[in-house]
Amino acid sequence: MLFSTDLFSKSDNAKDILKQETIEAILSSNSTLPVKVNRIEVTGLTAARDSFLEHQIRPIIQENHTVESLLNALDSSSADLYKYGIFNDARYKLNLVGSSTAQPLEVTAQLKLSDTKRTLFETSAITRNDEGLLDGSLTYKNLFGGAESLKLSAAIGSTRLLKATSLLFSTPIANSTANRFNVEVSNNTTQNEWASHSVITNGISISATKALEKCHKGSLQIGISALNRNITDIKASGSDPVKAASGDDGKISGFFKYAMDTTDDKYYPSKGTNLSFDQEFFSRLSNESQNLTSSDEAAKSLSFSRTLLNIKSSKALDDKKHLIFNAYADFGYLASVNGASKSHLSDRFYLGGHKNIVGFQYNGIGPKDQDGLDSLGGDASINGGISFLAKLPNVCPKHSILSPLRLNLFWNAGNLVSAAAVRSQGTNIVTELLRSHSSAAGLGLVYRNDTADVNLSYSIPLAVKPTDSVKPGLSFNVSISW
């Protein structure tokens, strides 16, 4: 292909080496000279289609260049090609055409491409005190030759997540490395023993994502989704609020997500902040709206705003990064647009267990039914915690199998409130959230690397409300990926 470029890390023979040394000497000493690229040739085995490659290299041919700007353009083009995740090798080589004293200098360029493996299969297994989970995914990259991807994911579990499947199609928008268009369909079945029911969820979402490369590994996502939640298999002991929510509940939403990550390590960051912000506006298509009287038009809309903010920060307390301080805070708020509608069980926030507050039963914090058996969740949530991760002296030598092992000392706390409780007491959300809290502290061991994520801890509840379900003592979480 004569519109693309080929890159060689090594020349094929002595003559090529001499030519390359000659042009490098000329270019390095004449950075401000004008230069013209006569043609770009692509070599190597690649499944990328011609129109996709042409879009990547067209600016190099069409724009006016000095030697310096051309070299910068080639570097930028090569870096962009790597960002698609479909090439192992994407490097340029220049050849001088004609006299080295001509103005503009005339060159040809070559781009050597080598594709990555087009199929990627990943699996992981998770086991906890009362749960086992096995999941896997199969990704097919460069589906149509333009960096498209198709990802099939599936999971089966023993306790909470019984089964889940999803199919995600993603493609660059206008061949951009930063912007992608995504379509995902999903189905999952969960057993919510903490509220005496199961939920079958089917959904589809359409979104656009943008990578904010100059904003601390940031990303933006905006999209729309449609879900149907079916609450079923309600136990005989199920509470009246759970039984009232049984059956199908549709949901159409528009959402916005922002994420930023300034941390310096994937597993044990010693500095930086990780922030995410999710905003969702949605309307429910529920039997509840059909059962309302004409005098209750305000409640018929069943429209909500759901906000979730997560912040995590890390700081090394010594030069060798053997002791690291971590802090996190999460805030969630589910608001009815008209202030009167009742939220759905699946949209509310829940606290307790390994996902946020250790020392309590899974989703065991917050409002319960009258008998105190079913967790009903809250419309507002706040939780946070601190931890100290310490490298064990003389136990974790560098580059040994135990080097990722850390001692973990932690404290976590949080609170949930329902909008109904706030209205009945005539107060506000912030007052109720800060009125009391549930908390626990503990000590444990953490092991994290590319293959394993292991967390073994012993926790003791410190502050407990009458409605809380506690779980003191030993807990473990093991995740293995391959």
Instruction: Please provide the DSSP assignment of 16-61 as one string.
Output: HHHHHHHHHHHHHT-TTSEEEEEEEEEES-----HHHHHHHHHHHH
Are 186 and 163 spatial neighbours (Cβ–Cβ below 8 Å)? no
Domain boundaries, the chain: 14-115, 119-481
Yes or no: say if 45 and 115 are a contact pair by the CB < 8 Å rule: yes
The C-alpha atoms of residue 290 and residue 301 are separated, in whole angstroms, by 10
pLDDT computed for residue 292 by the predictor: 45
What does the alpha-carbon distance between residue 94 and residue 21 come to, in Å, rounded to a whole number? 11
pLDDT for residue 10: 31
0.75 surpassed by pTM: yes
Query: From CA 190, how far away is CA 192, in angstroms rounded?
Result: 6
Q: How far apart are CA 141 and CA 122, in angstroms?
A: 14
Q: Which CATH code for domain 119-481?
A: 2.40.160.50
User: How far is the C-alpha of 91 from the C-alpha of 88, rounded, in Å?
Assistant: 10
C-beta separation of 477 from 126 below 8 A: yes
Residue 298: per-residue pLDDT: 40
| pLDDT tens digit at each of 482 positions of the chain | 433 333 333 333 333 433 554 566 666 666 788 888 888 888 887 899 988 988 888 888 888 888 888 888 888 899 999 999 999 999 988 888 876 677 788 888 889 999 999 999 999 998 887 788 999 999 999 999 999 999 999 999 988 888 999 999 999 999 999 999 999 999 999 999 999 999 999 999 999 999 987 766 899 999 999 999 999 999 988 899 999 889 999 999 999 999 999 999 989 999 999 999 999 999 988 655 444 444 444 444 578 999 999 999 999 999 989 999 999 999 999 998 876 568 899 999 999 998 899 999 999 998 888 777 899 999 999 999 999 999 987 776 676 667 889 999 999 999 999 887 777 777 788 888 888 899 999 999 999 988 889 999 999 999 999 989 999 999 988 888 87
Specify the 3-state DSSP secondary structure of 97: strand
Give CA–CA dist 270/320, Å, rounded: 10
Q: What pLDDT does residue 369 have?
A: 87
- Are 481 and 123 spatial neighbours (Cβ–Cβ below 8 Å)? yes
Radius of gyration of the chain (CA): 28
Distance CA 93, CA 24 (A): 10
194 φ/ψ angles, rounded to the nearest 5 degrees: -70, -10
| End-to-end CA separation in angstroms for the chain | 38
- Tell me the one-letter amino acid at 156: I
Domain 14-115 in this protein, CATH class:
alpha beta
Note whether 417 and 380 are within 8 A (CB): yes
- Residue type at 199 in one-letter notation: V
In the prediction, which pLDDT does 426 show?
74
CA distances from residue 206 to 224, 226, 253, 257, 389 in whole angstroms, order as listed? 6, 9, 11, 13, 40
Cα separation, 405 vs 448, whole angstroms: 7
93-97, long-range: CB < 8 A, 24+ apart: 93/5, 93/6, 93/7, 93/8, 93/20, 94/23, 94/27, 95/19, 95/23, 96/19, 96/22, 96/23, 96/26, 97/38
Q: How far apart are CA 76 and CA 66, in angstroms?
A: 15
Helix (H, G, I), strand (E, B) or coil at 236: coil
